[in-house]
Chains A and B, each alone.
Chain A
Amino acid sequence: KAGVTQTPRYLIKTRGQQVTLSCSPISGHRSVSWYQQTPGQGLQFLFEYFSETQRNKGNFPGRFSGRQFSNSRSEMNVSTLELGDSALYLCASSLIGQQETQYFGPGTRLLVL
């Protein structure tokens, strides 16, 4: 079975721009979660989607949003980028929810200049 895939792997943007990241979960997995990882803050939870609905949300501003499609693929959008948004964005999937083992993708490394 193919693992979690994320595109693009690397991205460079400038302040004020917006960005969309994509995540394809493991086949059959319906829960997709997004995380931000920075050297200063470590791993932080952004949100979780299940059956096209946001089921859980971390403590991030509204500039961070996401959605999930009927095939469970998910996208994450960050608007009005700030320098502090530079991070590794990780996507993880699981069968039905975050309470079980999650499988992470390789991440998208975003650099905001």
Chain B
Amino acid sequence: KNQVEQSPQSLIILEGKNCTLQCNYTVSPFSNLRWYKQDTGRGPVSLTIMTFSENTKSNGRYTATLDADTKQSSLHITASQLSDSASYICVLFLYGQNFVFGPGTRLSVLP
């Protein structure tokens, strides 16, 4: 079983709609949990970084939440735009300086 799982694997929504991406993890504790956005053919861009003790972090229309009890994180995108079409990757940065990467969710926003 992967240490970080993301759902759904892919998602199609209409422009202007909201959506929520999920990240479930088994490793604990960790130093921080990150959400990255990666456009096709480009490097990832950091959206949010949350420490183990934080519950929520926002970056514009992106809001990440963290529930340490259920070992879940979610990324909520509000009022989606065409430019939100990308892969979204959940990453855990562990104590001991190691990373655990999720497989990503592929989001497509249609006009």
Chain A residues with a Cβ under 8 A of chain B: 4, 42-45, 48, 55-56, 58, 90, 92, 98-107
Task: Identify A44's interface contact among B46, B49, B101, B104, CB under 8 A.
Answer: B101
User: In the bound complex, do residue B43 and residue A56 qualify as a contact, i.e. CB atoms below 8 Å apart?
Assistant: no
Contact A48 B43 (CB under 8 A): no
**B98 vs chain A, min Cβ distance (A):** 7
11 A–B contacts, CB within 8 A, in A order: A42-B102, A42-B104, A43-B99, A43-B101, A45-B99, A56-B97, A98-B97, A99-B97, A102-B46, A104-B45, A107-B43
Q: Cβ of B97 and Cβ of A104 under 8 Å apart?
A: no
Hey, what's the 0/1 contact readout for B7-41 against A, CB within 8 Å counting as 1? 00000000000000000000000011000000001
What's the least CB distance linking A82 to chain B, in Å?
Answer: 22
Chain B contacts to A: CB under 8 angstroms: 31-32, 41-46, 49, 89, 91, 93, 97-99, 101-104
Contacts A58-B98, A99-B97 known; 17 new A-B pairs at CB < 8 A: A4-B43, A42-B89, A43-B89, A43-B101, A45-B98, A48-B97, A56-B97, A56-B98, A92-B43, A98-B93, A98-B99, A99-B31, A102-B46, A104-B43, A104-B45, A107-B42, A107-B43
Minimum CB–CB distance from B95 to chain A (whole Å) comes to 10
What B residues does A100 contact at CB under 8 A? 49
Q: How long is the Cα–Cα vector from A58 to B32 in the complex, in angstroms?
A: 18
**Given A43-B89, A99-B31, A106 and B43 contact (CB-CB distance below 8 Å):** yes
CB contacts (< 8 Å) of B91 on chain A: these are: 43
A104 CB to nearest chain B CB (Å)? 3
- Chain B's closest residue to A59 (CB) is B98
Give complex CA distance A107, B42 in Å. Answer: 7
Contact A103 B46 (CB under 8 A): yes
